[in-house]
Amino acid sequence: MMKATLLFLLGLLLLNGAQASTSSEKKEQNERKIEELISKMTLQEKLGQMSQFDPGQLGRPEEAKQAIRDGKVGSILNLVGAREVNELQKVAVEESRLGIPLVIARDVIHGYRTIMPIPLGLTAGWNAELAEKAMAVAAEEAAAEGIHWTFAPMIDISRDPRWGRIAESSGEDTYLTSVMAKAMIKGFQGDDLSAPNTIAACAKHFVGYGAAEGGRDYNTTLIPEVQLRNDYLPPFQVAADAGVATFMSAFNDLNGVPASGNEFTLKQILRKEWNYNGMVVSDWASITEMIAHGFAANSKEAAEKALKAGIDMEMATSTYVDHVQALLDEGTIDLATIDEYVANILRLKLDLGLFDKPYTDESAAAKSILSEKNLQIAKEAASESFVLLQNKNELLPLSNDLSSVAVIGPLADAPHDQMGTWVFDGKKENTITPLTALKEMLGADQVNFARGLKISRTKTTEGFAEAVEAAKKSDVVLLFLGEESILSGEAHSLANLNLQGAQSELLEAVAETGKPVVLVIMAGRQLTIQKELAKADAVLYAWHPGTMGGPALADMLFGKTTPSGKLPVTFPKTVGQIPIYYNHKNTGRPADYQQWTDINKIPAEATQHSLGNTSHYLDAGFEPLFPFGFGLSYTTFEYSDLKLSSKTMGKDGAIEVSVNLKNTGKFEGAEVVQLYIR
């Protein structure tokens, strides 16, 4: 199980190969327009197109307008609101010399106002069609607020839960990440980038960012080329083939060369091998950060290296504006390169239809934001993201005949935290928590609520007495633990993955009442919960489930839905096992139980080789807490009649595999069929 390669997912995964198509006539017309514009542009206007700024960097509103009027800004990130965007767009289109529209970007990572589960959770649904729908909701809402371009999906292979950004990823597997990448891109971009409800996507972070040494964000990465090509690059190639409009270069240095100045990855692989002709943006200040990396002596050299690597647009810094003239004068770079990069940017704007329709309909937001349809999709996505890890004595689903339930814990009613990381525009007022949903479902009188701990990091136990009281007077305890959203995401790495604060002690205290305990964990990553499994009867992993997390959980706890989520990451027992992922190589001495002695059973003065010589930890063994792909259901499935179309690989390199799947349990349910080869 640990040594296999995930080959194919059946069941819930539906792939759709359709792509945005622009007629060749339209393409030619666009190319002519690009040529014509470039022939009229001054160098300053070209560099303006290649620059993206946050409004805060452009000064007071009048100064920002003047910069746009002067053609010094090609793109703005972090400006929202149809009216606000239209106001600046008007200056670009009607008052700048060439009338080139701005392209407005935003991190719409897992929803705009209707917040979907964090991407790691969305991926736990193993449902590409649903991921596509969820991102289409995000696109529709964002587009209605004037956004043309999102910096998503994040498709960095992530095998280290210490890394806070694992929350934004699709986890550890290359194939699953690739499937999700394609689906999310389709969701954002639809079939037509110029439609009013689609936005450009961005494959990020190119490349290797998820391999940050020690899981510490921004840290250096060392990835041998064979592993880069096998594990880290394929999702990006899938994204390029799926027509993702843009790529973002990463912060990290890769094998000693920062990703934003890396000619091997950006030029050789992306442009030459994959023929990618979309636009490449740097990550925020990642060009100037090449100085801190020790790769460029100053900002001029940083600009030179980014240009030589092929970064079309610079995010948040101005090395291009400041130094390109000098670099041209010296002959370090040539004007044709600049023109090529400007063309890539103008092409994006043309594909987005911004020249024809630069303005956002100011009445659109009211119709789409938090619409019934969007909330329903968010609920479905949350529901499919939940992974049932343990269900002793079939405690779940709970019976509707219970007379009362205790709802306890710092995450039971944490509308902000349940949205997860990267939520610029989600509002806690719109979030429905488990407490609210359970009260609504069962009636407020049936629910005995006690927070127990103020937040996940609270160490004082003064709320325990009330929590124990609530448990005692209820039939069952629903305990909501986990981590606050701020503990995951960018720059939020952790060295310890146990439950924070006194959460474990809270579990112990309520478990001591003897009442059955359902533990629901909301978190941005897999936490080390071995100890807690022993104390709780049922454990449901809910990630950070977003706006509709509460109702989705209430339904699942009471059996209106059946869990079908499967882990997109391996759960370690302890941090010391990291990196631990399912498709690790065998080693020449694979571990086995015959040759492993629990550390507590090693005799005193045992001789060096008496314990065997295999690849394991004396104190943690060699298995994870839960493997990749794991997830229980309320119902049971029987697999039968496994058939291979042939025992040897045909000329086309394919073997067809089929299996009969039968629901043999008491509940309706969905199953993800997983096939592993090695």
Active site residues: 283
Q: Smallest distance from the beta carbon of 156 to ligand NOJ, in angstroms?
A: 10
**Shortest CB 497 distance to ligand NOJ, Å:** 22
Whichever of 107 and 351 has its CB closer to ligand NOJ, that residue is 107
488 to 507: interface string for ligand NOJ, x by CB under 6 A:
--x-----------------
* Rounded least distance, CB 53 to ligand NOJ, Å: 12
- E strand or H helix at 75, and its extent? strand 75-77
Cα–Cα distance for residue pair 62/314, rounded to 1 Å: 23
CA dihedral (341, 343, 349, 351) in degrees, to 10, reads -120
Q: For residue 414, count CB atoms less than 10 angstroms from its CB and return exposed for 0-12, middle for 13-18, buried for 19 or more.
A: buried
What contacts 443, CB < 8 A, 6 or more positions away?
Answer: none
Residues ≥6 apart with Cβ < 8 Å to 268: none
- Site residues for ligand NOJ, 137-156, by CB under 6 A, read 151
Q: What does the alpha-carbon distance between residue 556 and residue 483 come to, in Å, rounded to a whole number?
A: 21
CB-based contacts of 233, cutoff 8 Å, min separation 6? 207, 269
Are the C-beta atoms of 304 and 323 separated by less than 8 Å?
Answer: yes
- Residue number, 202 or 438, with CB nearest to ligand NOJ: 202
Least distance between ligand NOJ and beta carbon 152 (Å): 8
Sites for ligand NOJ among residues 433-492 (CB under 6 A): 490
Q: Please, what sign has the CA dihedral across residues 525, 531, 533, 539?
A: negative
Q: Contact at 8 Å (CB) between 65 and 91?
A: yes
Neighbouring C-beta atoms of residue 357, cutoff 10 Å: 12
- Kindly tell me which of 55 and 590 has the beta carbon lying closer to ligand NOJ: 55
Shortest Å, Cβ 338 to ligand NOJ: 24
Q: Which is nearer to ligand NOJ, 76 or 548 (CB)?
A: 76
Q: Does 107 bind ligand NOJ (CB under 6 A)?
A: yes
User: With respect to ligand NOJ, which residue has the nearer C-beta, 282 or 503?
Assistant: 282
Instruction: Give the integer Cα–Cα distance in Å for 68 and 393.
Output: 65
Given 283, 312, 537, 671, the residue binding ligand NOJ (CB under 6 A) = 283
Q: Which two tokens stand for residue 11?
A: 């069941």
**Nearer to ligand NOJ among residue 112 and residue 386 (C-beta):** 112
Residues within window 220-239 making contact with ligand NOJ, judged by CB under 6 A: none
Q: Where are the beta strands (DSSP E) in 409-534?
A: 447-450, 476-482, 517-522
Number of H helices and number of E strands within the chain?
21, 20
In the bound complex, what is the minimum distance in angstroms from residue 141's beta carbon to ligand NOJ?
A: 18
By rule CB under 6 A, what count of residues binds ligand NOJ?
Answer: 6
The strand pairing partners of 640, in sequence order, are 660
CB of 569 to ligand NOJ, least distance (A): 19
- Per CB under 6 A, 204 contacts ligand NOJ: yes
CB of 205 to ligand NOJ, least distance (A): 6
What is the Cα 406 distance to its own chain's centre?
Answer: 33
* β-bridge mates for residue 482, sequence order: 522
Does position 253 interact with ligand NOJ (CB under 6 A)? The reply is no
Residue 610 phi, psi (nearest 5): -70, -15
Burial 2-23 (b: 16+ CB within 10 A, else e): bebebeebeebbeeeeeebeee
Omega before residue 258 within 30° of 0, cis: no
Q: What CA–CA distance (Å, rounded) separates 479 from 537?
A: 11
Cβ proximity to ligand NOJ: between 162 and 204 the closer is 204
Alpha helices, DSSP H, located in 59-127: 61-69, 82-90, 119-124
Q: Which residue is nearest to ligand NOJ (CB)?
A: 151
Q: Name the DSSP letter for residue 42.
A: -
Shortest spacing between CB 38 and ligand NOJ, in angstroms = 27
> Where are the extended beta strands (E) located within 445-537?
447-450, 476-482, 517-522
Q: Which residues of this protein are in contact with ligand NOJ, per CB under 6 A?
A: 107, 151, 204, 283-284, 490
